[in-house]
Every structure is written in C-alpha cells, then in structure tokens.
Structure 1
C-alpha cells in the first residue's frame, strides 16, 4: 500500500487526508498539537510534534512515503522550507498545496474556546509550556487560579488597575509586559522571542494593532494560539 505523508493542520490537510484514504492510500498526518490531532478525520494515523532539520529528514526517511504533501498554513515558511529540502534530499516528490484565503487562513489553524474559564481549564492540563495572555487583563484571575505562575505571562496596558490586578493574582513582575498599543508585528515578535512563549491566548475582538499582527507572528514561530470568542 502506498504511503502518503501530509504536513499541516489546515482545512486543506484534512481534505487531502480524506481524499487519499478514499483512494486506498496509507496516510500519516504530521501536526504539532493534540488539538490539531483531534481535528483530523477519525482513524487517521498521526504524528504529533515539531521537527528541526535533522528530525524532519530522519522522520521522512523512516516513514519512506511515496509522496509528501505540504499543507501547512501560509505563515509556516521555515517549516515549508524544511519539508521541501528534506524531500528533495531523499528524492521523494513533494507537493505544496494551495491554501485558500491566505489572509484569513489563521482562523482555521487556531484553537477556539468559548470563554476564559474554558481556556483556563484547557491550559491547566499543560505543564512546562510558557503561556502569554494578550490583553483582557480583567480575566487574569481565571487563569492565575489554575496555571503555574512560573509559566504564566501577560501583556497588559500600563494602568494602575491592570498592574494591581496582575500583582494581586501573583503574576511575577518579570512576567508582565506593560505597554500601550498599537502592538505591531515587530513588537509581538520580540515579546514572543524574549519570553520563549509556547502558547498565546487572545480574544477574538479588535485590539490595538489588530489580531493578525499578533497571531501571525505567533504561528510563524509554531506557537500554539488559543482564541477566546468575543463577547
């Protein structure tokens, strides 16, 4: 049975997996989170985890697929290069799928939750990941009551009310980013890199600088994004 290796957590990757399985192919889909795995068609073989250059090459060699399909989101440029180079080095055909509506593609990639309480409950199952809460400081108590303070960071406006609340719930001073918007891509990128963020939590409402200015740099860094639906 021919084996097809698919990379990505997008609508296109899930459709490709279904199509190839209907054609009788053995399909393995590579994603980075448990949430992404849960979005796949039932019964789909899956690998969860990130790859560096050597790991990517080793995994493709080990699985020895007939074809590699790159259906990653349009912001994962480093991953796309890694996939293409590894496939070329091994002499395996590699197809880059076209992602529809690239400007809004991030909405199909992020994890959606209904409210801060649900977000905090999901995040409480994590252990070593650094979590950044972007804005929405009034809901800090939801998160601080369930999450490890040594892995909790927040970006808030530098008002007395916001700073007092962060201190009250126990967020360390060194974990507070207090700044006025607009929050540009460059600013958000610097924050993610400086703090070593693994998970970004943000509300689906208009914020200074725009949602995309925050979400896209996170996705470029393979940061998991949790989007809390706007009220």
Structure 2
C-alpha cells in the first residue's frame, strides 16, 4: 500500500497515476470534499481529517504502508515534517512532490515577504482594501493588524477568499468577517475572474502564497499587473535540502521498485 497525502490537485493526479500502474493506494485528505475527489481517482482507501505523527504511524502499521508520497500544499509544513519523521521511524521511503513555483517578475507592484506577520504589515500599508487569497489558517495576523489600524482611525477592509467549506466560513465569521467580505469559491481561477473580483471589491492589495501555475499564482500576478493592484507574495518556507521534492514522473519511477 502506498499512502498519498493529497492536499492538492497534483496529489489527486498522482493517485490516479499510481492506481493506473497497479499500486494499491491509501489516500488522505484534510477535507471530505477532497476525499470524494480522491475516491473518483480510484484510491482503494480514503481517509479524511487532520493527521498527527502518531496517526501516520498507526496508518503505516494498519495498512502495511510501503512508502509515503507527500503531495500536500507547499505551505503545509507541519504535516510534511511529521510525515518525514514517521517514515524515518518506520524505515520506509518518504517522497515529497515538488510543485513548480511561479517566477515572480521584478516589479514595484510585486512584494515578496517571508512570514505572515510581515505580509499583514506590508499589505495593509499598501491600501485600505486587501483581498486575502491564502485560505483560513493564517488570517489572524491580518485581522489583528487591521484592528490596530482601525483603532488609530485608519479605514481598513479585509476580504477573505477561500474554499466553500463550512469550516472555512465558520472560521471567517469567528474572526469577525461579515458575509459581504467573504468570497467562497473553488480555485484556481482564471485571469479574467481575478480581474473581475479585484475590480468588484475595489481591491488595492492582494495577498497570496506562491502556489505556482497550477495553484493559480500566475493568474493573480497577471491580474494585479493589469489593474495596478499590489500583490504581496509569502515565499515558501525553507525545507530540508533532502526533502526539496521530486516531479510526479520521478515519484512514479521510484515507486516502480517499491
């Protein structure tokens, strides 16, 4: 059994390719929606929900997992570290899928930062209406910074754009986002839709991760440059050099011998 931690479209593609090559695949997704998509790819077992290191170890033992393919989002650093450690303890291969990054142009509208607090400070300094296209896990630094600015009499509006999952909407409401400041849609979206959304909300700055072309970053870059909107990009976090990642083809080739 191959365990695929499938947090992206790349992960779903890998599941389908592994099944086509005759592997038995146990696929894991954080959300039930993701789990349904993995079932459509032919995984023989699908589990959903968050995983801790002890949960990974239990899955390895229960299903006789021979290798873990980590196709989680490039910014899901916790699960990647825990998967590496679980593989080390079990003595099985850990194969990290490498998602291509977007090559960011040198441009006064493009701002690269290294953490969420820096992103919040930078974005809110660039305009009073900021769209956050980063999911819901890292919204708090922006909410805190916006609250501080409002306390100083500075008008600030945050728009949260995220997956149309109940948990995501509940989290936004808990943090104080009103319904009119929540955009729930399944990404990635096109250049044209980004342009329409940024115009509709009068956005002055957008915050994104560098999720690469398949994650929609290229379309956000082009939309912002067309409209003259600032784009704040949170760089990927440093990883162990040994876990820099492999292409899908490299992963498939390595698993042919497992």
Query: Normalising to structure 2: TM-score of the pair?
Result: 0.45
Query: Normalising to structure 1: TM-score of the pair?
Result: 0.50
